[in-house]
Amino acid sequence: MKKVLKNFLWSLGITLLIILIALVGNELLTHKNNLITKEGFVLFSQYNNVSDSIPKVQNILEKFPQLKIYLENDLNKKVNDPDTIKKFGNIAGLYENNNIYISTLNNSTTLFHELGHAIDAYMGCYSALGYAAEDFRYTLSSNDDFKKLYEKYKNTSIFTEYGRNPSSDTRKCLSEGFAEMFANYISDRNKVDKEVATYFDNIVKMINELKPTEVVHSLK
Ligand SMILES: [Zn+2]
């Protein structure tokens, strides 16, 4: 009887161990599979025919090593907030806590839009509202110069309805307009007005000149 019990406990222990290994392994694999690596990102850029944008994007990613890009098929599930889903419909991209999530690899504009939110989170709107560290040297989407630029170009084709509609913005600054303008500029600098291109050239230059200690880490 004692031997039977001992055997039973052994099998139970081994079964639990196998389940644990499977769970941890799956978690690691999922994590690894969803994270878009630098190499994966280069392929993605070539696939979307935006290879010219790679150097700029890579420089930005190097300045913000905490920023990770993930592929998540069901972003509505991840957002898990009925009001947000009702407002935005099918969610194609999301920036949150140093992470960018995109629902498909076929849409470079979405990724560049979320990248715009990320740099705005480190150096602009979010930090001005206290979401990031208290660093007020940079004020990207909450800057008066940007507001003027936005007003001037908001009715042009570089904005979708979403970007030009202030009610899209949940952060009390022009973060959606900033993200859309940034996405257009990164996608193809020659397709935006010269004034817009120059404005964002300066932002890219400012980011390139950041020293590692100057990078603001987003807390939320
Ligand atoms: Zn957005």
Distance 71 CA to ligand 1 centre (A): 16
Residue 168 CA to residue 48 CA, distance in Å, equals 26
CA angle 139, 140, 145 (to 5 degrees): 90
Instruction: Please give the C-alpha separations between residue 78 and each of 82, 96, 199, 209, in angstroms, as whole numbers.
Output: 11, 11, 34, 35
Q: What is the pLDDT of residues 11-20, one digit of tens each?
A: 888 888 877 7
Instruction: Please give the C-alpha separations between residue 186 and each of 24, 55, 58, in angstroms, as whole numbers.
Output: 38, 10, 12
Would you state the pLDDT for residue 133?
A: 44
Distance 144 CA to ligand 1 centre (A): 20
Distance 1 CA to ligand 1 centre (A): 65
Residue 132 CA to residue 127 CA, distance in Å, equals 4
Mean pLDDT of the chain: 80
- CB-proximal residues (5 Å) to ion ligand 1: 176, 179
- What stretches of 89-143 show up as alpha helix (H) in DSSP? 108-123, 125-128
Banded pLDDT at 29 (limits 50, 70, 90):
very low
Distance 89 CA to ligand 1 centre (A): 13
Distance 199 CA to ligand 1 centre (A): 20
Distance 120 CA to ligand 1 centre (A): 11
Distance 213 CA to ligand 1 centre (A): 27
Q: What is the pLDDT of residues 176-194, one digit of tens each?
A: 889 999 999 999 999 899 9
Distance 119 CA to ligand 1 centre (A): 12
CB 95 within 8 A of CB 117: yes
Distance 116 CA to ligand 1 centre (A): 8
**155-161 mean pLDDT:** 83
Would you state the pLDDT for residue 106?
A: 82
Residue 49's SS3 state is coil
Q: What is the pLDDT of residues 38-54, one digit of tens each?
A: 777 777 888 888 888 88
pLDDT-wise least confident of 22-36, 52-66, 75-89, 143-157? 22-36
Distance 5 CA to ligand 1 centre (A): 59
Of the chain, the percentage scoring pLDDT greater than 90 comes to 20
In CATH, what number does 37-214 get? 3.40.390.10
Long-range contacts from 133-142, C-beta under 8 angstroms, 24+ separation: 133/216, 133/217, 133/219, 135/216, 138/206, 138/216, 140/178, 140/203, 141/173, 141/174, 141/175, 141/177, 141/178, 141/179, 142/173, 142/174
Helix axes 144-153, 175-187, angle to 10 degrees: 70
Residue 80 in tokens: 């898990």
Q: pTM of the entire structure?
A: 0.77
Distance 15 CA to ligand 1 centre (A): 46
Q: Which residue has the higher pLDDT, 204 or 160?
A: 204
Would you state the pLDDT for residue 86?
A: 81
Per-residue pLDDT at 137 exceeds 50:
yes
